Structure 1
Protein backbone atom coordinates (compact mmCIF):
# COMPACT_ATOMS: atom_id res chain seq x y z
CA UNK A 1 0.00 0.00 0.00
CA UNK A 2 1.52 3.32 -1.08
CA UNK A 3 0.99 6.55 0.85
CA UNK A 4 1.37 9.99 -0.67
CA UNK A 5 3.99 12.09 1.09
CA UNK A 6 3.85 15.14 -1.15
CA UNK A 7 1.49 18.08 -0.92
CA UNK A 8 -0.53 16.70 -3.88
CA UNK A 9 -3.88 15.39 -2.68
CA UNK A 10 -5.18 13.29 -5.55
CA UNK A 11 -8.43 11.36 -5.61
CA UNK A 12 -9.66 9.17 -8.46
CA UNK A 13 -8.08 6.74 -10.91
CA UNK A 14 -5.14 7.24 -13.25
CA UNK A 15 -4.37 4.17 -15.32
CA UNK A 16 -4.15 1.20 -12.96
CA UNK A 17 -3.60 3.37 -9.88
CA UNK A 18 -6.44 4.59 -7.66
CA UNK A 19 -5.91 7.54 -5.32
CA UNK A 20 -8.17 7.89 -2.30
CA UNK A 21 -8.38 9.47 1.14
CA UNK A 22 -8.13 7.09 4.10
CA UNK A 23 -8.22 7.64 7.83
CA UNK A 24 -4.48 8.22 7.91
CA UNK A 25 -4.25 10.45 4.86
CA UNK A 26 -4.22 10.19 1.10
CA UNK A 27 -3.21 6.81 -0.32
CA UNK A 28 -2.72 5.06 -3.64
CA UNK A 29 -3.24 1.45 -4.66
CA UNK A 30 -2.72 -0.47 -7.86
CA UNK A 31 -5.49 -2.38 -9.54
CA UNK A 32 -5.06 -6.08 -8.91
CA UNK A 33 -6.97 -9.25 -8.18
CA UNK A 34 -6.93 -12.87 -9.24
CA UNK A 35 -6.70 -13.46 -12.98
CA UNK A 36 -9.49 -15.21 -14.85
CA UNK A 37 -7.05 -17.85 -16.09
CA UNK A 38 -6.03 -18.72 -12.53
CA UNK A 39 -9.64 -19.02 -11.40
CA UNK A 40 -10.35 -21.39 -14.29
CA UNK A 41 -7.28 -23.61 -13.78
CA UNK A 42 -5.89 -23.35 -10.25
CA UNK A 43 -7.05 -26.26 -8.02
CA UNK A 44 -7.33 -23.80 -5.13
CA UNK A 45 -10.27 -22.17 -6.90
CA UNK A 46 -12.25 -25.37 -7.48
CA UNK A 47 -15.04 -24.24 -5.14
CA UNK A 48 -15.17 -20.89 -6.91
CA UNK A 49 -15.56 -22.63 -10.27
CA UNK A 50 -18.33 -24.83 -8.87
CA UNK A 51 -20.18 -21.77 -7.56
CA UNK A 52 -19.79 -19.93 -10.87
CA UNK A 53 -21.26 -22.89 -12.78
CA UNK A 54 -24.33 -22.99 -10.56
CA UNK A 55 -24.73 -19.21 -10.59
CA UNK A 56 -24.74 -19.36 -14.40
CA UNK A 57 -27.47 -22.02 -14.37
CA UNK A 58 -29.55 -19.91 -11.99
CA UNK A 59 -29.16 -16.89 -14.27
CA UNK A 60 -30.27 -18.96 -17.29
CA UNK A 61 -33.30 -20.33 -15.43
CA UNK A 62 -34.27 -16.80 -14.38
CA UNK A 63 -33.98 -15.60 -17.98
CA UNK A 64 -36.13 -18.46 -19.30
CA UNK A 65 -38.83 -17.72 -16.71
CA UNK A 66 -38.79 -14.00 -17.42
CA UNK A 67 -38.92 -14.53 -21.19
CA UNK A 68 -41.66 -17.18 -20.97
CA UNK A 69 -43.75 -14.84 -18.81
CA UNK A 70 -42.96 -11.81 -20.95
CA UNK A 71 -46.60 -10.73 -21.00
CA UNK A 72 -46.57 -10.47 -17.21
CA UNK A 73 -43.09 -8.96 -17.14
CA UNK A 74 -44.29 -6.08 -19.30
CA UNK A 75 -47.51 -5.49 -17.34
CA UNK A 76 -46.78 -6.30 -13.70
CA UNK A 77 -43.09 -6.26 -12.91
CA UNK A 78 -40.68 -3.72 -11.51
CA UNK A 79 -36.96 -3.30 -12.06
CA UNK A 80 -36.13 -6.01 -9.53
CA UNK A 81 -37.86 -8.90 -11.34
CA UNK A 82 -34.75 -10.54 -12.82
CA UNK A 83 -32.81 -10.35 -9.56
CA UNK A 84 -35.71 -11.84 -7.59
CA UNK A 85 -36.15 -14.63 -10.15
CA UNK A 86 -32.40 -15.28 -9.97
CA UNK A 87 -32.57 -15.47 -6.17
CA UNK A 88 -35.36 -18.06 -6.10
CA UNK A 89 -33.78 -20.00 -9.00
CA UNK A 90 -30.58 -20.26 -6.94
CA UNK A 91 -32.57 -21.75 -4.05
CA UNK A 92 -34.12 -24.29 -6.42
CA UNK A 93 -30.67 -25.29 -7.69
CA UNK A 94 -29.34 -25.66 -4.14
CA UNK A 95 -32.27 -28.00 -3.38
CA UNK A 96 -31.04 -30.54 -5.97
CA UNK A 97 -30.07 -33.54 -3.82
CA UNK A 98 -29.16 -35.79 -6.76
CA UNK A 99 -26.13 -33.91 -8.05
CA UNK A 100 -22.74 -33.04 -6.62
CA UNK A 101 -21.67 -29.48 -5.83
CA UNK A 102 -21.06 -27.57 -9.03
CA UNK A 103 -23.31 -29.93 -11.00
CA UNK A 104 -26.65 -29.10 -9.36
CA UNK A 105 -29.38 -28.12 -11.82
CA UNK A 106 -32.62 -26.17 -11.67
CA UNK A 107 -34.72 -28.90 -13.27
CA UNK A 108 -33.52 -31.45 -10.68
CA UNK A 109 -34.28 -29.24 -7.69
CA UNK A 110 -37.51 -28.58 -5.81
CA UNK A 111 -39.27 -26.52 -8.46
CA UNK A 112 -42.28 -26.21 -6.15
CA UNK A 113 -40.29 -23.42 -4.48
CA UNK A 114 -41.44 -21.26 -7.40
CA UNK A 115 -45.04 -21.53 -6.23
CA UNK A 116 -46.20 -18.24 -4.75
CA UNK A 117 -43.59 -16.13 -6.54
CA UNK A 118 -44.79 -12.53 -6.92
CA UNK A 119 -43.93 -10.74 -10.17
CA UNK A 120 -44.56 -7.33 -8.63
CA UNK A 121 -42.59 -6.29 -5.59
CA UNK A 122 -45.26 -3.72 -4.73
CA UNK A 123 -48.59 -5.51 -5.08
CA UNK A 124 -49.99 -9.03 -4.56
CA UNK A 125 -53.22 -10.76 -5.50
CA UNK A 126 -54.00 -11.07 -1.78
CA UNK A 127 -53.87 -7.31 -1.15
CA UNK A 128 -55.67 -6.42 -4.37
CA UNK A 129 -58.51 -8.93 -4.81
CA UNK A 130 -60.51 -9.65 -1.67
CA UNK A 131 -62.18 -12.78 -3.03
CA UNK A 132 -59.86 -15.74 -2.67
CA UNK A 133 -59.38 -17.52 -6.01
CA UNK A 134 -60.21 -21.23 -6.03
CA UNK A 135 -57.54 -23.32 -7.77
CA UNK A 136 -58.27 -26.69 -9.36
CA UNK A 137 -55.08 -28.50 -10.36
CA UNK A 138 -56.07 -31.52 -12.46
CA UNK A 139 -53.77 -33.98 -14.30
CA UNK A 140 -54.58 -32.39 -17.66
CA UNK A 141 -55.63 -28.82 -16.80
CA UNK A 142 -55.61 -25.97 -14.30
CA UNK A 143 -58.68 -23.86 -13.51
CA UNK A 144 -58.87 -20.66 -11.47
CA UNK A 145 -62.34 -19.69 -10.27
CA UNK A 146 -63.39 -16.39 -8.70
CA UNK A 147 -66.82 -16.35 -7.12
CA UNK A 148 -69.44 -13.79 -8.08
CA UNK A 149 -68.60 -10.41 -6.57
CA UNK A 150 -69.17 -6.66 -6.66
CA UNK A 151 -65.89 -5.29 -8.09
CA UNK A 152 -66.10 -1.90 -6.37
CA UNK A 153 -66.35 -3.71 -3.03
CA UNK A 154 -63.90 -6.59 -3.43
CA UNK A 155 -61.23 -4.94 -5.57
CA UNK A 156 -58.68 -2.46 -4.24
CA UNK A 157 -59.50 0.90 -5.78
CA UNK A 158 -56.89 2.94 -7.65
CA UNK A 159 -57.17 6.48 -8.97
CA UNK A 160 -58.05 6.87 -12.67
CA UNK A 161 -58.97 3.21 -13.20
CA UNK A 162 -62.34 2.15 -14.58
CA UNK A 163 -61.87 -1.52 -15.49
CA UNK A 164 -59.81 -4.58 -14.63
CA UNK A 165 -58.81 -7.77 -16.40
CA UNK A 166 -57.86 -11.13 -14.90
CA UNK A 167 -55.65 -13.57 -16.80
CA UNK A 168 -54.40 -17.12 -16.38
CA UNK A 169 -51.04 -17.70 -18.06
CA UNK A 170 -49.12 -20.94 -18.56
CA UNK A 171 -45.40 -20.94 -19.26
CA UNK A 172 -44.06 -24.33 -20.39
CA UNK A 173 -40.27 -24.53 -20.13
CA UNK A 174 -37.68 -27.16 -21.02
CA UNK A 175 -34.66 -26.05 -19.00
CA UNK A 176 -32.38 -28.62 -20.65
CA UNK A 177 -33.02 -27.52 -24.24
CA UNK A 178 -33.70 -23.89 -23.31
CA UNK A 179 -37.07 -23.84 -25.07
CA UNK A 180 -40.36 -22.45 -23.83
CA UNK A 181 -43.90 -21.60 -24.89
CA UNK A 182 -46.73 -19.54 -23.42
CA UNK A 183 -50.51 -19.69 -23.49
CA UNK A 184 -53.05 -17.44 -21.79
CA UNK A 185 -56.75 -16.82 -21.33
CA UNK A 186 -58.40 -13.74 -19.80
CA UNK A 187 -61.69 -12.35 -18.58
CA UNK A 188 -61.82 -9.37 -20.90
CA UNK A 189 -62.31 -5.87 -19.49
CA UNK A 190 -64.68 -5.82 -16.49
CA UNK A 191 -66.05 -2.50 -15.14
CA UNK A 192 -65.14 -1.57 -11.57
CA UNK A 193 -68.70 -0.87 -10.49
CA UNK A 194 -71.33 -1.74 -7.90
CA UNK A 195 -72.93 -4.21 -10.31
CA UNK A 196 -72.34 -7.82 -9.33
CA UNK A 197 -70.15 -9.77 -11.72
CA UNK A 198 -70.95 -13.43 -12.25
CA UNK A 199 -68.55 -16.19 -11.30
CA UNK A 200 -65.41 -16.22 -13.42
CA UNK A 201 -63.61 -19.45 -14.36
CA UNK A 202 -60.39 -19.50 -16.41
CA UNK A 203 -58.95 -22.83 -17.62
CA UNK A 204 -55.78 -23.81 -19.44
CA UNK A 205 -54.64 -27.29 -20.51
CA UNK A 206 -51.58 -28.97 -19.04
CA UNK A 207 -49.83 -30.47 -22.09
CA UNK A 208 -47.93 -33.73 -21.74
CA UNK A 209 -44.51 -32.71 -23.07
CA UNK A 210 -41.35 -34.66 -22.12
CA UNK A 211 -38.80 -32.84 -19.92
CA UNK A 212 -41.05 -29.79 -19.67
CA UNK A 213 -42.25 -28.03 -16.55
CA UNK A 214 -45.44 -25.95 -16.47
CA UNK A 215 -45.86 -22.77 -14.45
CA UNK A 216 -49.38 -21.34 -14.13
CA UNK A 217 -49.69 -17.71 -13.06
CA UNK A 218 -52.66 -15.46 -12.34
CA UNK A 219 -52.41 -11.78 -13.23
CA UNK A 220 -54.69 -8.81 -12.56
CA UNK A 221 -54.44 -5.64 -14.65
CA UNK A 222 -56.01 -2.26 -14.01
CA UNK A 223 -57.21 -0.24 -16.99
CA UNK A 224 -58.79 3.08 -17.84
CA UNK A 225 -61.41 2.82 -20.58
CA UNK A 226 -62.71 6.08 -22.05
CA UNK A 227 -66.21 6.71 -23.38
CA UNK A 228 -64.91 6.33 -26.95
CA UNK A 229 -63.57 2.87 -26.13
CA UNK A 230 -59.89 3.82 -25.93
CA UNK A 231 -58.00 1.70 -23.40
CA UNK A 232 -55.04 2.79 -21.32
CA UNK A 233 -52.77 0.76 -19.06
CA UNK A 234 -52.18 1.82 -15.49
CA UNK A 235 -49.29 4.31 -15.31
CA UNK A 236 -47.70 2.54 -12.34
CA UNK A 237 -47.45 -1.05 -13.57
CA UNK A 238 -46.10 -2.25 -10.21
CA UNK A 239 -49.70 -2.03 -8.94
CA UNK A 240 -50.71 -4.87 -11.30
CA UNK A 241 -50.22 -8.06 -9.25
CA UNK A 242 -49.30 -11.46 -10.67
CA UNK A 243 -48.30 -14.65 -8.91
CA UNK A 244 -47.38 -18.25 -9.77
CA UNK A 245 -50.17 -20.49 -8.48
CA UNK A 246 -49.33 -23.96 -9.82
CA UNK A 247 -46.06 -25.67 -10.75
CA UNK A 248 -45.96 -29.09 -12.39
Structure 2
Protein backbone atom coordinates (compact mmCIF):
# COMPACT_ATOMS: atom_id res chain seq x y z
CA UNK A 1 0.00 0.00 0.00
CA UNK A 2 1.30 3.46 -0.92
CA UNK A 3 0.06 7.06 -0.76
CA UNK A 4 0.10 9.49 -3.65
CA UNK A 5 -0.41 13.17 -4.31
CA UNK A 6 -2.44 14.39 -7.27
CA UNK A 7 -4.69 17.25 -8.21
CA UNK A 8 -7.16 14.65 -9.37
CA UNK A 9 -8.62 12.28 -6.79
CA UNK A 10 -9.16 8.79 -8.11
CA UNK A 11 -11.53 6.24 -6.58
CA UNK A 12 -11.76 2.80 -8.08
CA UNK A 13 -9.46 0.57 -10.07
CA UNK A 14 -7.20 1.24 -13.02
CA UNK A 15 -5.57 -1.85 -14.46
CA UNK A 16 -4.18 -3.84 -11.54
CA UNK A 17 -4.17 -0.80 -9.21
CA UNK A 18 -6.90 0.21 -6.76
CA UNK A 19 -7.26 3.86 -5.65
CA UNK A 20 -9.18 4.93 -2.55
CA UNK A 21 -9.17 7.30 0.40
CA UNK A 22 -8.03 6.14 3.85
CA UNK A 23 -7.94 8.45 6.89
CA UNK A 24 -7.86 11.52 4.65
CA UNK A 25 -4.98 10.24 2.50
CA UNK A 26 -5.04 9.06 -1.09
CA UNK A 27 -3.96 5.45 -1.16
CA UNK A 28 -3.10 3.05 -3.96
CA UNK A 29 -2.51 -0.68 -3.80
CA UNK A 30 -2.26 -3.60 -6.17
CA UNK A 31 -5.28 -5.81 -6.65
CA UNK A 32 -5.35 -9.02 -4.66
CA UNK A 33 -4.74 -12.18 -6.62
CA UNK A 34 -7.52 -13.91 -4.69
CA UNK A 35 -10.48 -14.95 -6.81
CA UNK A 36 -13.64 -16.18 -5.07
CA UNK A 37 -14.82 -18.16 -8.08
CA UNK A 38 -11.46 -19.88 -8.45
CA UNK A 39 -11.39 -20.65 -4.73
CA UNK A 40 -14.76 -22.40 -4.96
CA UNK A 41 -14.05 -24.39 -8.14
CA UNK A 42 -10.35 -24.57 -8.99
CA UNK A 43 -8.53 -27.87 -8.22
CA UNK A 44 -5.60 -25.71 -7.07
CA UNK A 45 -7.54 -24.74 -3.96
CA UNK A 46 -8.94 -28.20 -3.19
CA UNK A 47 -6.83 -28.77 -0.05
CA UNK A 48 -7.54 -25.24 1.12
CA UNK A 49 -11.29 -25.80 0.69
CA UNK A 50 -11.07 -29.11 2.58
CA UNK A 51 -9.16 -27.57 5.47
CA UNK A 52 -11.47 -24.55 5.57
CA UNK A 53 -14.59 -26.72 5.66
CA UNK A 54 -13.29 -28.94 8.45
CA UNK A 55 -11.97 -25.99 10.45
CA UNK A 56 -15.38 -24.33 10.33
CA UNK A 57 -17.10 -27.54 11.40
CA UNK A 58 -14.74 -28.08 14.35
CA UNK A 59 -15.12 -24.48 15.49
CA UNK A 60 -18.93 -24.71 15.46
CA UNK A 61 -18.94 -28.13 17.13
CA UNK A 62 -16.68 -26.90 19.91
CA UNK A 63 -18.74 -23.78 20.49
CA UNK A 64 -21.95 -25.80 20.69
CA UNK A 65 -20.55 -28.31 23.21
CA UNK A 66 -19.02 -25.52 25.30
CA UNK A 67 -22.37 -23.74 25.44
CA UNK A 68 -23.83 -26.70 27.38
CA UNK A 69 -21.20 -26.38 30.14
CA UNK A 70 -20.51 -22.64 29.90
CA UNK A 71 -21.29 -21.83 33.53
CA UNK A 72 -18.66 -24.30 34.73
CA UNK A 73 -16.05 -23.28 32.16
CA UNK A 74 -16.22 -19.78 33.64
CA UNK A 75 -14.99 -21.21 36.94
CA UNK A 76 -11.68 -22.20 35.34
CA UNK A 77 -10.63 -18.57 34.90
CA UNK A 78 -8.95 -19.47 31.61
CA UNK A 79 -9.96 -16.84 29.00
CA UNK A 80 -8.41 -18.71 26.05
CA UNK A 81 -9.81 -22.13 26.90
CA UNK A 82 -12.04 -21.92 23.83
CA UNK A 83 -8.94 -21.96 21.62
CA UNK A 84 -7.61 -25.14 23.23
CA UNK A 85 -11.04 -26.70 22.98
CA UNK A 86 -11.22 -25.88 19.26
CA UNK A 87 -7.84 -27.60 18.79
CA UNK A 88 -9.23 -30.59 20.68
CA UNK A 89 -12.17 -30.78 18.27
CA UNK A 90 -9.74 -30.72 15.34
CA UNK A 91 -7.70 -33.55 16.85
CA UNK A 92 -10.83 -35.62 17.49
CA UNK A 93 -12.08 -34.99 13.95
CA UNK A 94 -8.84 -36.53 12.64
CA UNK A 95 -9.91 -39.90 14.07
CA UNK A 96 -12.84 -40.05 11.63
CA UNK A 97 -11.67 -42.81 9.33
CA UNK A 98 -14.97 -43.31 7.49
CA UNK A 99 -15.34 -39.89 5.82
CA UNK A 100 -13.27 -38.43 3.01
CA UNK A 101 -10.95 -35.53 3.72
CA UNK A 102 -12.86 -32.29 3.82
CA UNK A 103 -15.92 -34.03 5.26
CA UNK A 104 -14.50 -35.57 8.43
CA UNK A 105 -16.58 -34.85 11.53
CA UNK A 106 -16.20 -34.50 15.28
CA UNK A 107 -19.19 -36.84 15.69
CA UNK A 108 -17.44 -39.73 13.93
CA UNK A 109 -14.23 -38.97 15.78
CA UNK A 110 -16.00 -39.20 19.14
CA UNK A 111 -17.37 -42.62 18.21
CA UNK A 112 -13.80 -43.95 18.24
CA UNK A 113 -11.98 -45.05 21.39
CA UNK A 114 -9.09 -42.64 20.77
CA UNK A 115 -11.39 -39.71 20.09
CA UNK A 116 -13.28 -40.29 23.35
CA UNK A 117 -9.98 -40.68 25.20
CA UNK A 118 -8.84 -37.28 23.92
CA UNK A 119 -12.08 -35.73 25.17
CA UNK A 120 -11.73 -37.34 28.62
CA UNK A 121 -8.11 -36.22 28.97
CA UNK A 122 -8.86 -32.57 28.20
CA UNK A 123 -8.04 -30.43 31.24
CA UNK A 124 -10.25 -27.46 32.13
CA UNK A 125 -7.91 -24.81 33.46
CA UNK A 126 -6.36 -25.81 36.79
CA UNK A 127 -9.21 -28.18 37.67
CA UNK A 128 -8.32 -31.85 37.94
CA UNK A 129 -9.88 -34.24 35.45
CA UNK A 130 -10.83 -37.86 36.07
CA UNK A 131 -9.16 -41.25 36.10
CA UNK A 132 -10.57 -44.25 34.28
CA UNK A 133 -12.28 -45.22 37.57
CA UNK A 134 -14.91 -42.59 36.82
CA UNK A 135 -17.54 -43.54 34.26
CA UNK A 136 -21.30 -43.82 33.86
CA UNK A 137 -23.13 -46.96 32.82
CA UNK A 138 -26.66 -47.15 31.57
CA UNK A 139 -29.46 -49.22 33.02
CA UNK A 140 -33.01 -49.46 31.76
CA UNK A 141 -34.33 -46.38 33.53
CA UNK A 142 -31.33 -44.99 35.41
CA UNK A 143 -27.72 -44.02 34.96
CA UNK A 144 -25.22 -45.14 37.58
CA UNK A 145 -22.04 -43.21 38.28
CA UNK A 146 -19.04 -45.39 39.03
CA UNK A 147 -16.44 -43.46 41.04
CA UNK A 148 -13.07 -44.07 42.63
CA UNK A 149 -12.89 -45.07 46.28
CA UNK A 150 -13.05 -42.28 48.87
CA UNK A 151 -14.72 -39.79 46.59
CA UNK A 152 -13.27 -36.35 47.49
CA UNK A 153 -16.54 -34.45 47.17
CA UNK A 154 -19.78 -33.66 48.93
CA UNK A 155 -21.62 -32.50 45.79
CA UNK A 156 -21.69 -33.75 42.21
CA UNK A 157 -22.98 -32.06 39.07
CA UNK A 158 -23.62 -34.31 36.06
CA UNK A 159 -24.51 -32.83 32.68
CA UNK A 160 -25.72 -35.31 30.06
CA UNK A 161 -25.47 -33.92 26.53
CA UNK A 162 -27.10 -35.25 23.37
CA UNK A 163 -25.34 -33.27 20.61
CA UNK A 164 -26.40 -32.95 17.01
CA UNK A 165 -23.19 -31.98 15.27
CA UNK A 166 -24.84 -31.62 11.88
CA UNK A 167 -27.07 -28.70 12.86
CA UNK A 168 -24.94 -27.64 15.86
CA UNK A 169 -27.59 -27.92 18.53
CA UNK A 170 -27.93 -30.04 21.64
CA UNK A 171 -30.32 -31.21 24.31
CA UNK A 172 -28.84 -31.52 27.77
CA UNK A 173 -29.90 -32.17 31.35
CA UNK A 174 -28.11 -31.16 34.54
CA UNK A 175 -28.35 -33.24 37.71
CA UNK A 176 -27.05 -31.91 41.02
CA UNK A 177 -26.55 -34.60 43.63
CA UNK A 178 -25.37 -34.67 47.23
CA UNK A 179 -22.77 -37.32 47.94
CA UNK A 180 -23.47 -39.96 50.54
CA UNK A 181 -20.34 -41.99 51.16
CA UNK A 182 -20.66 -45.70 50.36
CA UNK A 183 -24.01 -45.05 48.64
CA UNK A 184 -24.64 -45.80 44.97
CA UNK A 185 -24.94 -42.65 42.88
CA UNK A 186 -27.92 -42.86 40.53
CA UNK A 187 -29.65 -40.33 38.33
CA UNK A 188 -32.33 -40.44 35.67
CA UNK A 189 -31.55 -41.76 32.21
CA UNK A 190 -32.72 -38.78 30.20
CA UNK A 191 -32.14 -40.14 26.69
CA UNK A 192 -33.17 -43.52 25.29
CA UNK A 193 -31.25 -44.93 22.31
CA UNK A 194 -29.85 -41.49 21.54
CA UNK A 195 -26.68 -42.55 19.76
CA UNK A 196 -23.84 -40.22 20.76
CA UNK A 197 -24.06 -39.00 24.35
CA UNK A 198 -21.52 -36.98 26.32
CA UNK A 199 -21.24 -36.80 30.09
CA UNK A 200 -19.62 -33.84 31.86
CA UNK A 201 -18.86 -34.26 35.55
CA UNK A 202 -18.10 -31.65 38.24
CA UNK A 203 -16.99 -32.44 41.79
CA UNK A 204 -17.34 -29.94 44.62
CA UNK A 205 -16.01 -30.06 48.14
CA UNK A 206 -17.22 -27.48 50.68
CA UNK A 207 -18.47 -25.28 47.86
CA UNK A 208 -15.21 -25.34 45.87
CA UNK A 209 -14.96 -27.02 42.48
CA UNK A 210 -12.01 -29.39 42.52
CA UNK A 211 -12.56 -31.58 39.44
CA UNK A 212 -14.30 -31.20 36.10
CA UNK A 213 -14.18 -32.96 32.79
CA UNK A 214 -15.81 -35.47 30.47
CA UNK A 215 -16.20 -39.11 31.42
CA UNK A 216 -17.27 -42.13 29.39
CA UNK A 217 -20.80 -43.50 29.19
CA UNK A 218 -20.79 -47.28 28.97
CA UNK A 219 -23.76 -48.97 27.43
CA UNK A 220 -25.15 -52.23 28.80
CA UNK A 221 -23.99 -55.42 27.14
CA UNK A 222 -26.46 -56.94 24.68
Shorter-chain TM-score range? 0.5 to 0.7
Q: TM-score, normalised by structure 1?
A: 0.60
Q: How many residues align?
A: 188
What secondary structure, in the 3-state scheme, does the structure 1 residue paired with 2:87 have?
helix
* 1:205 corresponds to 2:175: no
Aligned residue number for residue 84 of structure 2: 84
Q: 2:125 aligns with which of 82, 97, 121?
A: 121
Distance 1:31 1:55, change over 3 A: farther
Structure 1 pair 89–126 and aligned structure 2 pair: CA distance change class (3 A): closer
Higher relative contact order (CA 8 A, sep 6+): 1
Asked if the contact 1:78/1:121 (under 8 Å) is kept, the reply is: yes
5 Å-filtered alignment, 1:74-223, equals 74-76=74-76, 78-111=78-111, 112=113, 113-115=115-117, 116-118=120-122, 120-125=124-129, 134-138=134-138, 140=140, 141-146=142-147, 149=150, 155=152, 165-188=155-178, 198-200=181-183, 201-205=185-189, 207-210=191-194, 212-221=195-204
Deviates most, 97-106 or 136-145 = 136-145
Displacement after TM superposition at 1:42 (Å): 3.3
SS in 1 for 2:54: helix
What is the distance in 2 between the residues matched to 1:98 and 1:126? Answer: 29
TM-superposed deviation, 1:139: 5.5
Give 1:49 shift: 0.7
Structure 1: distance between partners of 2:79 and 2:88: 16
**Alpha-carbon displacement from aligned partner over 1:11-53 (angstroms, at most 9, x marks no partner):** xxx96xxxxxxxxxxxxxx688652614334331111011100
8 Å CA contact 2:54, 2:105 repeated in 1: yes
In the superposition, the TM-score normalised over structure 2's length comes to: 0.66
Q: Secondary structure at the match of 1:120?
A: coil
Distance 1:56 1:48, change over 3 A: same
In structure 2, the gaps of 5 or more residues are 3-20, 23-28
1:5 aligns with none
Relative to structure 1, the CA distance from residue 87 to residue 134 in structure 2 (aligned partners, 3 Å threshold; closer, same or farther) is closer
- Classify 1:68/1:125 alpha carbon distance in 2 versus 1 (closer, same or farther; 3 Å): same
